[in-house]
Amino acid sequence: MHIIKLNATDSTNTYLKTISTNSEVQDYLVVTAKEQTKGKGQRGNVWESERSKNLMCSIFKTMFDLDIKYHFYISIVTSLAIVAALKKLQIPKLYIKWPNDILSENKKIAGILIENIIKINALESSIIGIGLNINQTNFETLPRASSLKLITGHNFDHTEVLSYILKYLSYYFSFLETGNLQFLKNEYEAQLYRKGKASTFRDRSKATFSGIIQGVYDNGTLRVLLENDITKAYDLKAIELLY
């Protein structure tokens, strides 16, 4: 495992993307930073973090020509790896909020941003960005955020947390490499936040509606049972799960 440790960068994903574009890099190359000036999150959001308090990293993963239609399984694998690592650290009440936010109870503790390199309808490689709140305790502007320290009351070692994540990434990627997609999807859906419960969503027009999460399709769209007993698929840009 080779790790590039930076004091500061605009984004670990951007830094790793530049390296991989200009030279050949090894599988599971990791870039970490104490501070990101332009950290990126889902839906174009900025990932904010106090300096040196949290884990901000990006991981380069070769993709063995995975068919592009299965791109969401990279997100599934990463989500499962983080949850497994946090279970090892005895973090309670863990869930995956679709598509790939990691929650403890109902508070967000980690986010994932995956950027894929595509070649002839296949995924050649992926840059997996992970932001995990570890020792930060001040989230005044983020009322739905928490950290490992706030949850447990004690500090965690960044290196130990990262080593567990990498261990379980390798474990779950082995199922993807052998085509065991059903196992991965079953594991993901078993930990999906609010699965089987009446939930409130907001669509592109900012209108809210109710539905029950039933699971996901292979392409990552969310399967929702609506009030009229019709099941509909929604992609990330179409709806947002509120509660």
User: Is 198-241 in CATH node 1.10.20?
Assistant: no
DSSP 197: S
Which fold, 3-190? BirA Bifunctional Protein; domain 2 (3.30.930)
Give the model confidence (pLDDT) of 105-156 as tens digits: 999 999 999 999 998 888 999 999 999 999 999 998 888 999 999 999 999 9
What percent of the chain is predicted at pLDDT more than 90?
85
pTM of the predicted protein model: 0.94
The pLDDT, as a whole number, for residue 174 is: 97
Within 8 A by CB and 6+ apart from 169, the residues are 28, 59, 61, 77, 78, 81, 128
What is the residue extent of each domain of the chain?
3-190, 198-241
Confidence of residue 212 (pLDDT cuts 50, 70, 90): very high
What per-residue confidence (pLDDT) applies to 46? 55
Exposure of 57 by Cβ count < 10 A (0-12 exposed, 13-18 middle, 19+ buried)? buried
| Strand-strand pairing, 30-36 and 3-9 | parallel
Can you tell me the distance from the alpha carbon of 55 to that of 184, in angstroms, rounded to the nearest whole number? Answer: 25
Amino acid in position 187: E
Distance separating alpha carbons of residues 146 and 142, to the nearest angstrom: 9
Q: Could you tell me which residues are beta bridge partners of residue 166? A: none
Amino acid at 101: D
Contact 84/94 with Cβ under 8 angstroms? Answer: no
Give 42-81 pLDDT, tens digit per residue: 555 555 678 899 999 999 999 988 999 999 999 999 999 9
Per DSSP, 153 falls in state S
